Amino acid sequence: MPFNKDTSLQALLGFLASEFNLTDLDPDEPIFSAGLIDSFSLVQVAAFIGEKLGVTIPTKDLTVAKMDRPRQMIDTAAVHAK
């Protein structure tokens, strides 16, 4: 099944709500640079993307610059989706 950005974004927003209590989060809202979650949480986000969405994001792309907003996270994942 091809990577679907819309369903993946919804899944990610659900994860962020349940794991970090970030409810009603706008997909374009910065979460790391705004201090809503810390950079250590990036590992949890990457693990979720890998386990639940089936996409491994290379370490070089696990940066706040590429993963600050939920939509950015999904865009980054889409680049690496097979």
Distance CA 64, CA 72 (A): 10
pLDDT tens for 48-71 read: 999 999 999 999 999 989 999 999
Q: What percent of the chain has pLDDT over 90?
A: 91
Mean pLDDT of the chain: 94
Give the CATH number of the domain where residue 39 resides.
1.10.1200.10
Distance CA 73, CA 14 (A): 14
Tally of structural domains, the chain = 1
Distance CA 46, CA 77 (A): 9
**59 phi and psi, to 5 degrees?**
-55, -40
Q: Tokens 């990577």 appear where? A: 3
pTM assigned to the model: 0.93
Q: Domain limits at 74? A: 5-80
Distance CA 27, CA 74 (A): 10
